Amino acid sequence: MVTALIPNLIQKYSRKQKSKLPPGPKPWPIVGNLPEMLSNKPAHQWIHNLMKEMNTEIACIRLGNTYVIPVICPTIARVFLREQDAIFASRSLTTCTDLVSSGYLTTILVPFGDQWKKMKKTLSNALLSSHQLLRFHDKRNEEADNLMFYVYNKCKNVNDGVGGLVNIRSVARHYSGNVIRKLVFNTRYFGKGMKDGEPGFEEVEHVDSIFVLLRYLYAFSVSDYMPCLRGLDLDGHQKKVKEALRVIKKYHDPIVEERIKQWNDTPKVDEEDWLDILISLKDANNKPSLTLEEINAQIIDLLIATVDNPSNAFEWALAEMINQPKLLQRATEELDSVVGKERLVQESDVPKLNYVKACAREAFRLHPMAPFNPPHVSLSDTTVGNYFIPKGSHVILSRKELGRNPKVWNEPHKFKPERHLNVSNVVLTEPNLRFISFSTGMRSCPGVMLGTTMTGMLFARLLHGFTWSAPFNVSTINLTESKDDISLAEPLVAVAKPRLAPQLYQL
């Protein structure tokens, strides 16, 4: 037995000796490259600039005692998430992910292990299967109809032919927020609601708080790399996340508690929404599968998974398309030919709308929601290419640079939906990681069907229902990225004019 182990050890040792870490800046003792990271904010820009200067598509940056491995090349990305997927199936531990997942009870933020397996299986089977997607079609449709009603109301008080000013960021984020609230809680509004379809104070507070969580989950907080600093909240991220969670829980907790009480008093015959499903799931001993803490935490996980990508993609795509009106024209021509002008787009139309889907796909490529994919943490030492990747490394695939890699994409900075039209059915997934939409492998997104449907409907309804242009005094939309992340620096405001019969916009 021992003799059999010796060659293995020698092999492993000599592999370590031969292969070195990916190239990177020389680390300082103990703190590694944290000083450079702190003096070159935002961190994502520093990392990307560093890779450009070093002319490398994979790097190794030591933050405290953690090896952070950014990747901008699809071939290398595929080794991590396809060939060696099982090794890179864990997630990093950060103070903010700990807070948001209530101590790692959920799916997205949870390291590899039994809890992640349990929750991912629950989501995939009980909430996100094609059967469940069909079952809750009408709830999503109510929100797609409300989207039209809401935007139409923004135009209706304006003189004929002038159109109404619409804050696209707000409209798109609230459409996503409405859909997920309707699916989870069977309600659009936490408060009294609004007559013209717009979000009330409660919904604005709710959606804004979800975006605060998204901003800080993996925000290169110095205390995550120097555990001795953990309690100090030097950059203030923990305080902001705690406040956002307080707001979110203020709305969720009473609904969840009341619903559990209802189920305990008299079990319902049928589940009306995802909350009912989560409460009524049973394990092999006919006991509730999920605890109250798991249900509460998992709901927050679902919210953060849903609100950002469709809304960010639409905001960017529309900004790009207003600057290239031929693209808008081509999209509306497709919509008029597939759907006509006598009815609204339905989910069943979306598969036939290749050009509209190509616009969404192009937005995911060129303007992803975040600079990096969530970290994938290695469960053992390994070698990728000729580089040694130690156990515990944080691999961060660059969503920004994979989609703009000039070796893969011709004119990478140009918004050109037609580049995706070389297939008979355009899809939003990209398992080859030439850009990242839903990612691939064990940690890939289980919400592909719902995410594709929501994105397709958001694009198709708004492009079919309205003619879009820049505001009166604006010649072209400013496409500058925000300094902190890669969202549009200023929320897109555009002019909408209804292009269908007035009765089609009514609820």
The structure tokens listed for 85 are 């997927």
| Residue nearer to ligand HEM on the CB measure, 38 or 442 | 442
| Residue nearer to ligand HEM on the CB measure, 33 or 455 | 455
- Which helix or strand (DSSP H or E) is residue 348 part of? none
69 DSSP β-pair partners: 395
**Please, what is the minimum distance in Å from the beta carbon of residue 447 to ligand HEM?**
2
Pairing label, strands 394-397, 376-377? antiparallel
Q: Residue 185 to residues 13, 171, 200, 240, 457: CA-CA distances in angstroms? A: 55, 20, 16, 25, 21
**Please, what is the minimum distance in Å from the beta carbon of residue 433 to ligand HEM?**
9
| Residue nearer to ligand HEM on the CB measure, 123 or 457 | 123
Residue carrying structure tokens 């940690």: 443
- As a whole number of angstroms, the distance between CA 62 and CA 360 comes to 36
- What residues contact 494, with CB distance under 8 A and at least 6 apart? 165, 166, 168, 318, 319, 322, 468, 469, 470, 471, 477
| Residue nearer to ligand HEM on the CB measure, 221 or 437 | 437
| Residue nearer to ligand HEM on the CB measure, 124 or 383 | 124
**Please, what is the minimum distance in Å from the beta carbon of residue 125 to ligand HEM?**
13
- As a whole number of angstroms, the distance between CA 363 and CA 52 comes to 23
Q: Report the SS3 class of residue 463.
A: helix
**Please, what is the minimum distance in Å from the beta carbon of residue 77 to ligand HEM?**
10
The structure tokens listed for 162 are 């002038």
**Please, what is the minimum distance in Å from the beta carbon of residue 478 to ligand HEM?**
25
The structure tokens listed for 312 are 């960010």
Amino acid at 384: V
**Please, what is the minimum distance in Å from the beta carbon of residue 43 to ligand HEM?**
18
| Residue nearer to ligand HEM on the CB measure, 33 or 312 | 312
Question: Which residues in this chain contact ligand HEM in the complex, by CB under 6 A?
Answer: 107-108, 120, 123, 128, 302, 305-306, 309-310, 373-374, 436-439, 443-447, 450-451, 455
Q: Is the peptide bond before 42 cis (omega within 30 degrees of 0)?
A: yes
Residue 397 · residue 80 · CB < 8 Å: yes
Q: Which residue is nearest to ligand HEM (CB)?
A: 447
Q: Report the SS3 class of residue 282.
A: strand
| Residue nearer to ligand HEM on the CB measure, 111 or 200 | 111
493 DSSP β-pair partners: 167
| Residue nearer to ligand HEM on the CB measure, 223 or 306 | 306
**Please, what is the minimum distance in Å from the beta carbon of residue 120 to ligand HEM?**
5
- What residues contact 170, with CB distance under 8 A and at least 6 apart? 199, 491
**Please, what is the minimum distance in Å from the beta carbon of residue 90 to ligand HEM?**
10
- As a whole number of angstroms, the distance between CA 456 and CA 61 comes to 38
- As a whole number of angstroms, the distance between CA 499 and CA 332 comes to 10
**Please, what is the minimum distance in Å from the beta carbon of residue 133 to ligand HEM?**
10
CB-neighbour burial class of residue 153 (10 A; exposed 0-12, middle 13-18, buried 19+): middle
Q: Residue 186 to residues 147, 180, 248, 274, 275: CA-CA distances in angstroms? A: 17, 9, 16, 8, 9
| Residue nearer to ligand HEM on the CB measure, 233 or 273 | 273
- Binding residue per annotation — 359? no
Q: Give binding residues as ranges.
A: 445
Q: Give binding residues for heme as ranges.
A: 445
